[in-house]
Structure 1
Amino acid sequence: MSTLPVVWEWDVGDRFCVLEGLQHVRDEYQLSKGISRAQDFPKDACFHMSARHRKYVALADNLSNLGRSLVVSRKLKEFVEARKPRDVEFLRVSLFDHKQKLASDEYFIINPIRVVDCIDKDKSRYKWNNIDPEKMSSCSKMVLKPEALDPELLMFRPRHVEYYVLVHPELAKALEDEGFTGLRFTPIDEFQT
């Protein structure tokens, strides 16, 4: 097994719902930057199922959404939480269906707040964002600096593409073995933004 982290992604398949953006949360963009929100996260934070995907209503353990947050079921959240990941917060959210009815109040955003400067910019292929010079707008080949990786860190965000979450390969395998739905992990050498 590779010791490199993998990228946490979604597997919508042909049945799992897709969510719009997060509602009732000021500065929700902070959730894609590794900024802690545990102190001020509102109790009415919620997602609505996407009107563009009306046929997809099934709730997976991991749900795709516009903000690229890790929106997970209570079961998946508790599985990750039991491993005591450092620098990770769990923020409760509600989900509403296409008819504006409560579909579940048992979902959480997993928010890793550790940002690691781990991308080898000399060996990676990428383009800088024209608006934000600290962000990569695309990356066709991501190479990580092994010396920057903490083998004890289960989840973190890579600097310059903080909206993605990298996961320790052992945690990814445990999640896959458990059979959680709507979830897939992409090896770094296959990942493209």
Structure 2
Amino acid sequence: MANYWVLRAESADGAIIDALPKDSPTNWKFSTGEPLARSFPAGGKVSFSDHFPDRRKLYDFVRNTIGVILASSRVRHVLEGLKVENAEFLPVTMCDHQWGPVADGYGILNVLGSQDAIDMEKSTYDISALSREISHVSNLVLTVGKIDPQAEIFRARNMMELILISDRTKQAFEQAGLTGFRAHPAEGFDDMFA
């Protein structure tokens, strides 16, 4: 069976973003796996969170509290090199705490569609009464044989905020020297400890 990894933006000292650009689609739409390019504002800006005034360092993956993947153009180029077609890059300008532009070439990586990746019988999880989606997983067990072997980056059906990557993608990220991310083994994953 192929190995898969849960993709998370992680850094001890990196900038943290806590709001989407002005006039963006509603927050929950970013975890539907649906295209958002038409409704995403051109020239959108995000700024470093005032709650973390000392965190100014930018990595290829930027931590945020809004449940999206904020990534650099380097991430985009690696995915293009892997021929990933199920993602759209929604450009944003990164700004400091005073809204001064500090970097272009960043964007929200919106992963489109999903894979039937979670073994609902064997995994341990909580379901949200509101969305009927998995809200917390304490022991992730992947389905055997249901994940498209060509899938390099994908959302997990039933927990659309969970982004998984293949071994090939993880290796490509590492070989490119991408920063600010951690790939957690998907089997047995517990989101309380990630």
Q: How big is the shift at 1:85?
A: 0.6
Structure 1 segment 74-153 matched on structure 2, within 5 A = 74-133=73-132, 135-153=133-151
Aligned-pair Cα RMSD in Å: 1.5
Match of 2:65 in 1: 66
Q: More deviation in 140-149 or 24-33? A: 24-33
- The residue type equivalent to 1:47 in the other structure is V
Gaps of 5+ in 2: none
Gaps of 5+ in 1: none
Distance 1:147 1:46 in 2: 41
Q: More deviation in 76-85 or 89-98? A: 76-85
Name the SS for the 2:28 alignment partner: helix
1:62-115 Cα shifts (integer Å, max 9, x gaps): 001112211111122112122221311111111111112112222021111121
Name the SS for the 2:168 alignment partner: helix
Q: Is the 8 A contact 2:76 2:89 kept in 1?
A: yes
- The residue type equivalent to 1:189 in the other structure is E
Name the SS for the 1:56 alignment partner: coil
Name the SS for the 1:91 alignment partner: strand
Q: How big is the shift at 1:28?
A: 3.4
1:169 aligns with 2:167: yes
Q: How big is the shift at 1:27?
A: 2.1
Match of 2:181 in 1: 183
Match of 1:154 in 2: 152
Distance 1:111 1:132 in 2: 20
Q: How big is the shift at 1:158?
A: 0.4
Distance 1:44 1:100 in 2: 13
Q: Is the 8 A contact 1:86 1:153 kept in 2?
A: no
Name the SS for the 2:41 alignment partner: coil
Distance 2:44 2:98 in 1: 18
Match of 2:5 in 1: 6
Name the SS for the 1:174 alignment partner: helix
Q: Normalization by structure 2: what TM-score?
A: 0.92
Distance 1:27 1:117 in 2: 25
Q: How big is the shift at 1:190?
A: 4.1
Identity, % of aligned positions: 25
Q: How big is the shift at 1:29?
A: 2.0
Match of 1:52 in 2: 51
Match of 1:31 in 2: 30
